[in-house]
Structure 1
Amino acid sequence: MLLLINAILIFWISTVGVQAFSYCVFPKINHGIIYGKEYDEKPSLITVGEIYYYSCEYNFTSPSRSFWTRIICTEEGWSPTPKCLRLCFFPSVENGHSASSGQTHLEGDTVQIICDVGYSLPGNSDTISCLEDGWSSPPKCSSTKSTQYCGPPPSISNGDITSFPLSVYPPGSTVQYRCQSFYELRGSIDVICRNGQWSEPPKCIDACIISEGNMNKNNIQLRNKDIKKLYVKTGDFVEFDCKWPHRAKTSMQSLRVLCHEGKFEYPMCE
């Protein structure tokens, strides 16, 4: 009896195993197009034994480099595995040379580049790779000595450099920025000329403008009546009081507000 039960279980398991691999999922290929027996229909499941063909977009190819690649649904899945790989044409190297010049490489290939004396690839590497979106970096060797000059420093809103601007700056030059009154400087105060480009300039964050119209509308006034300025820096607090005979709509703490990048919420008194 036990032998019979074991035989039935083995048969059931083997049957389930065959059924689990009796179909293939309709393939989705990046940069590829599928063609089968029914061109207008794309079933979700494909029966084992069915044959399809696929082609790749321009600048992509199958591993076999065939224009039409044949794939068949097997119990182990699609054979061969359908995929489209990037084709990367390697031109001549600027300020260097490579044995791959004039050749076309496949996605995943790595090419060695020898730069002329005094030149190098970005990051002092000696190779570049063919990736899905093209070469990892241009096949160009750049001078290791910075001889590129910069033009005038970039302008910023509500701020300027502290020195007289020049039309040309030598490599390594530094200029400093400052913001107009009540504007908050964010970023590095120093900007440096490197390889013909200025580093990122700082930003001048807006000040908060205190509106007398909004204060009258909300029945409030400045707590310190001797303050005549109507501008507040980012990060500073502004304190208000209710005009007599009005009272704060919420807690008294709400009459103290923070200026944040040119904005704050006016408290309200009823």
Structure 2
Amino acid sequence: MGVPVQFICFSCFLCFVTGVQGQVITCVLMSTTIGVEKINPAGKTIFRVGERVEITCTEKYWFRPTKESIKSFICQDDGQWDYNPGCEEIRCEVPRDQHVVWPYYYFRGDMNLGVKKYYRCERGYDQVEAVTTCTRDGWTPKPQCTPNITNAQIVGDQRPNYRISSILHYKCNPGFEPDQHVQITCNSQSKWTGIQQCTEKMCAAPNITNAEIVGDQRPNYTISSEIHYKCNTGFEPDQPIQITCNPQTEWTGIRQCTEKCGPPPNVEFADTTELTKNEYNSEERVEYRCFNKYTLLQRHPYSKYYTCEQGEWRGNIKCLKPCTVTVEEMDERGIELRKGGRQKIFPLHEDIITFACQREKKPLNVNALIQYCNDGVMILPECV
């Protein structure tokens, strides 16, 4: 009668045999080609306790749970291998706790190596990528759903999940505010606190005195927006002006609308050298000249110009009057012209006149016989 033998098999790959009544214990390696690339030693199927076998899996297979492609197995003294020496097809698992909506719906069916899956995130979370691929390292890129902070980017490395009390920083995209990094914290209810939404930077509609926007006007304008405005009637410049909203939410290129000047003012004893207009722009000037025999004062702060400055005429013009000396005035003082005798004269401002005493008269002050005209006033000497 033979010795009783018991066979115990695992799947379709291996069996071990145990002897009874003191027989030698061995492990049996069943012959198979599914997922197996190489077995060393080749062709050997029965192994004694302590003997090893090395198995290499094909590209799309590995050993669970170590995820190795090449592994050695040892026959134990109970007739079992230390690990199950079976190559299993590489599969990815359903992602959990990553805020993927309906994970068992999107990640169902074929999840073998190389398979691509599309997924969506729960409300309040955004996808990092719309599609993920099953690789030897799992789903790549990992199905990541981040807090729904639109127009922003996480600062630093991003993970699919964060522990309670984790701190995360994000920054708003260019053209959005706040400009500084924002810190948020995962609280005990698994919610992020401290979130500030990133709002688009905008310039408020410009308020330019004495002007109006060309075209439709909005209350706010995005960065880099360009608008035109024109000055009201009676203000300058006359051409429309373009301004731009810069990244600091300020309008650049603004020119104030300044009031134009009306006709130039009247100047006593003077007139303009050219025909005047009804309107003058800033920095335009008008030249004056004095009437005949009047002298234009050109000592600072006087000049011969009036200048339009922001709707007002600025300048100082003065025409100095000539003097008048009559024959009657000379006879009353007993004087006459040293050259010219007794005749009416009109000396200009700062003209010097030399007088002489009439016949048989003498001056009260010899030095007073020489006088000059000062803006229409001349002090006459006297002879007796």
Question: Which bracket does the TM-score occupy, shorter chain normalised?
Answer: 0.3 to 0.5
Structure with bigger RCO (C-alpha 8 Å, 6+ apart): 1
The structure with the largest helix share of the pair is: 1
